[in-house]
Structure 1
């Protein structure tokens, strides 16, 4: 508005810049509240009157046309600001409800579970979302700790719904079943009732008892086992099983396998959003080479450092959800 006034005073009324004063309330309606738009519109109207009198435009229809444009644009800007405010309030309410639902689905894991210290990191590939198709849970009992990390095929609300089914089945079975295979069977049955077509869930279940950890792998990337002396390996089953939801194809379920797990050791369970993250050159994230990042005494700080390195590797937003669960034997 000041620029229009300055140019109008410099060039005179012949150029006909006076209607451009209405740009003030127009931009105010796009970015500010309706009250601010009214104030800017009033200033624009006063400025239009002053410039119109100075230029002698009110002796012609041009001056009144300029006033009409300012009034009309101000009214439109106020209406737009009111509508935008209502939409912003509705969006804030929807987001608050969504955040509550997300916290119910992916509850905060306990920082300690039995002899373990636990840290978790979750990065959703969907903008403004805290969860997606990846899932995790830690269930502690007096004599053992059971864990699941999984990845639902696809994205969006269907993936979140499937993740809710898997987590609900695991949370119930982890308390009731006597062995890890029974937990897997319960989760598999729940998936078979819900999943249709070619939808599936890759997952790895783990049961930590004093001195050992038992894995049950449903077509999921192998976890990273880091020994206290710095040695690292990816324990894999002798034969991979089909993901959850594809058990109706008649194949046998996964065979549990056991690995030693002693004080000072760590296990990093993750989804393929970590190992399949690519840098601008197309190279995958070298998780095995990033083992030194997990040596921080604080497991949460160690996992934060690993996540920051993952984001730096991709040099941009992730193309898939990335979940990491770090279990450190105290």
Structure 2
């Protein structure tokens, strides 16, 4: 059930108000799954100023005892063909290769790391104790949804997320204009250099960065672009052109859950949600998805070192 804001409630502290409006969603300049550009109407809502941080997620875990999916040993029966030695708790961690690799081989830089989870983002020996204001990572969709429910909030729809990320610049490709790094200024945490082996770190960071380190967009929201991908509550589907009629659709949602399944994995039918915003691993030579219109599908059980989330509170309906 969606969470709405009732009169007199105050859980919008640390959130930014986004007024309802009609805007142009999508892009035709980068990846086919972003097209077509279509006008949609979104009602007003509040959105977190930043992704949920390690500090905030720790408070949730202390209050609820929540155990994230990355901390739970998987049941091999749920993953046909899984080698027994892989049936251990852990998560995917980015590991830069030592030399050139094909950009079509993501397993060259992703490693399933035992004991990697939100408290130990890089596996054994790592910790978030010195990263309290970095976005929490290694959170599955279930984990993000559980946090949102505890906070009295919801996860955003893709349309809500994109409206907030655009910062009022409807026709711009980036959240700040049409130039990725205006006058050489880094506007978000993304990969500079030839991904995945050369990281120039012109933005000052090798992995995640503290929230609010880069300028807010026109709505006063931070880190919607780069740093970490963010979960939305929409099932993955391809956009469709507007049908006949005079008015743009209101509060559009993704397709049905069944349509989100990956046809290339008939033996592991895990539904997929839409991720938005790109991450610190997006680069000019790979995954130019540090833009409001960018989107990718992600299975709901996935947890990686570059996926986080933020929440929204929707206005109470009139009456």
Q: Kindly name which structure, 1 or 2, has the bigger radius of gyration based on alpha carbons.
A: 1
**Range class of TM-score, shorter chain:** under 0.3
TM-score, with structure 1 as normaliser: 0.21
- Identify which of structures 1 and 2 has the higher relative contact order when contacts are C-alpha pairs closer than 8 Å and 6+ apart: 2
More helix as a share of residues: 1
TM-score, with structure 2 as normaliser: 0.21
